[in-house]
Structure 1
Amino acid sequence: MKIARRTLLTMSAAIVGLAFTNVASSAADYTLRVHTLVKSPHPYNDMADAFKKEVEEKSAGRIAVKVFDSGQLGQDPAVIGELGFGTIDVMISTVSNSVPVIPQFSIFTMPYLFDSMESVLDTVGPGTPVHAHFAKIYETNGAGMKLLALGASGTRNMSTAEKPVTSPDDLAGLKMRTPPSPMDAKTWSAFGMLPVTVAWGELYAAMQTGVAEAMESSLPGYTGSKLYEVAPNLALTAHTIQVNHTSISQRTWDKLPEDLQKVVQDAAVVANAYGVERSIFYDTSLVEKLVKEHGVNVTRPDRAAFIAKVAPMQVELAKELGLSEEYALVKK
């Protein structure tokens, strides 16, 4: 009876809490709809939750935040358009999916650009020349978005459907899924791969049907979207540290009074710092889980061989893609 009573009390408390949340949400002066593309566990969803907590607490309930994960509001290209119209307010996602709107973001898909996850915010965080540079690009590109923060959300690693990867030589001839980023296409072409542009939401089917034979992603993205089912060979190449952006609709931003703009801005910075912490945690914990629970075949190629392949072309590739200024800022 005690257990039943405790369960009933817990349920009652949950119902009261939910009712309070709904009242608080309806009483808010503003509601922010936040988009992420991914399923949990993933740093983007952790960041969205942290953003929600910070905004609602620091605004004393004047702003309610509703998080829509797993691409409920659409794929990134469509969401970027909705941000321009102000029908979606905030997005947290990888910069690579925003390259069609902000081509300069391509620089962050260059392999082996950063030394470590821990050092990324020193380069792209608030107050850095890199952040200021991209904030200015947002202001002038006409997309109707404002950059709140840049962050890092884990290493990206290679995975394949059939052939395990132990060295760069194993990549030749494989159809490689890439996002709509010229940097990605040119990089993997240098390894003798055949780039195929596939949206993230279509990646599982592409790997399953053979449209693509190889892919790369963060470990949370690989795990959360169950890509291990169609790409069970995971090579820990750690070739890219994934940079993410938190962006807000300019229309939404302009509606907020200055004090609430500061709340939202500060919350994005806090959330991105938390995202780095969670990313480091996932990178160290998910590999063991993937092996034990899902039978993933993990290889650990010599990263030096991959670095040797791409290092000589970094400066030239940045120049070819019109990214010399961005490359210089990042490598400063």
Structure 2
Amino acid sequence: MKISKLLLAAVAAFGMGGSASAADFNLRIHTLVKSPHPYNDMAAFLKEDIEAKSDGRIAVRIFDSGQLGQDPAVISEIGLGTIDMMISTTSNAVQQVPEYAIFTMPYIFTSMDDALAKVGPGTPIEAHFQKVYEERGLNMKLLALGASGTRNMSTAETVVNGPDDLKGLKMRTPPSPMDSKTWAAFGMLPVTVAWGELYAAMQTGVAQAMESSLPGYTGSKLYEVAPNLALTAHTIQVNHTSISNRTWNKLPEDLQKIVQASAIEANKLGVEKAKQYDDELVSELETKHGVKVTRPDTAAFIEVLAPIQTELAKELDLEDEYALVKAK
């Protein structure tokens, strides 16, 4: 019997697929963002580093731009082991890890280097959140915390030069009580919108103001619907790299060490890429996309928020986390 060309092609494709899947372990990494963004740079580093150092025993596939879903759903999938790893902002995980809300408290860190020094490998904060993961039964392991850029304010119509310009604006927030209470302190009206729905929300007026990292703002083309950018640098974005316990427990100890070490190095890269993007993107946004950029005096914003930091920490049951961040 003659074998059709189609069948031969299918056999060849299967053979190539088998070769590509020859690794002992296959890891799927989720990010929510589009490039350019530090999270995708970190994911690319993880793929190259883990595959090389494991001598091909681990194969890594990256699913960026929310291909695997929004963060809260992905965290649930990681708990089940159907997704292996994720790199994302801690603010999108507050539904499952309410303690992460501490990192959305504005002006709690002075710089990205300060943030990494306080949340990085071997710190009390990292140890604290590793314990939180266990206590909350998330069935996932925290590999690393890092810093990935400043978060800044952008609006559809209002040019922001100071706190008074924010009053009455509908402010998009992630599902984070800290964010809602923070922006309400400026007289804004918080509205909860998922990141993947933000473009449409700004376009239709469901929200009139938003805040984000500069790579997130640029990569998702939010400048098209929020063309006024105020460099408030109110938050140093903290990210987490997490892995499913089911996936982690399948890995032999030598491969666990490789994945752990790679995650730590990826976070260092994330900080450097975030600095680079923050510097480069402001110029690009102004010159290529016609974004109106303002540089408000951040002291005026700090003056509004500083008195309520301890109050917010107490109200949201974040006093332990607040003390850890403020500890010298």
TM-score range, shorter chain: over 0.9
Alpha-carbon deviation of 1:25? 3.6
Separation of aligned partners in 2, 1:127 and 1:58: 23
The unaligned stretches of length 5 or more in structure 2 are 1-15
Work out the CA distance in 2 between the residues paired with 1:108 and 1:96: 7
Correspondence for 1:13? none
Deviations 1:161-201 (A, max 9, x none): 00110000000000000000000000000000000000000
Of the candidates 150, 153, 157, which is equivalent to residue 158 of structure 1?
153
Tell me the distance in 1 between the aligned counterparts of 2:135 and 2:317: 17
Q: Is the 8 A contact 1:35 1:73 kept in 2?
A: yes
Q: List 4+ stretches of structure 1 deviating above 4 A.
A: 21-24
| Deviation digits for residues 116-148 of structure 1 (CA, Å, limit 9, x no counterpart) | 112211100010000000001111111111100
| Number of the residue aligned with 1:316 | 311
Listed as ranges, the matches of 1:1-332 within 5 Å are 25-332=20-327
Q: Aligned partners of 1:169, 1:108: CA distance in 2, in Å?
A: 24
Partner secondary structure for residue 175 of structure 2: coil
Q: CA separation in 2, counterparts of 1:120 and 1:266?
A: 19
Give the secondary-structure state (helix, strand or coil) at the position aligned to 1:27. Answer: coil
Letter in 1 for 2:108: L
Shift of 1:54: 1.1
Report how many residues are paired. Answer: 314
Quick one: distance in 2 between partners of 1:164 and 1:175?
A: 14
CA displacement at 1:246 relative to structure 2 = 0.3
Q: Secondary structure at the match of 2:21?
A: helix
Report if the CA contact (8 A) 1:24-1:64 is conserved. no
Equivalent residues of 1:25, 1:31 under 8 A apart: no
Q: Which runs of 5+ in 1 are unaligned?
A: 1-20
1:262-304 Cα offsets, whole Å, 9 max, x none, are 1111110010110000000001110000001000000000100
Equivalent residue number for residue 5 of structure 2? none
Q: Give the residue type in structure 2 aligned to 1:172.
A: K
The residue identity in structure 2 corresponding to 1:143 is L
Partner Cα distance (1:225, 1:167) in 2: 26
Q: Structure 1 residues 127-136 or 112-121, which shifts more?
A: 112-121
CA distance in 2, matches of 1:218, 1:62: 35
The 3 A distance-change label for structure 1 pair 128 and 111 is same
> Identity over the aligned pairs, expressed in percent?
73
2: CA distance, partners of 1:312 / 1:121? 25
Which amino acid letter does the alignment assign opposite residue 158 of structure 1? M
Q: CA RMSD in A?
A: 1.4
CA offsets 1:221-276 (integer angstroms, 9 cap, x no match): 00000000000000000000000000001111111111111111111001011000
User: 1:22 Cα deviation (Å)?
Assistant: 6.3
TM-score, with structure 1 as normaliser: 0.93
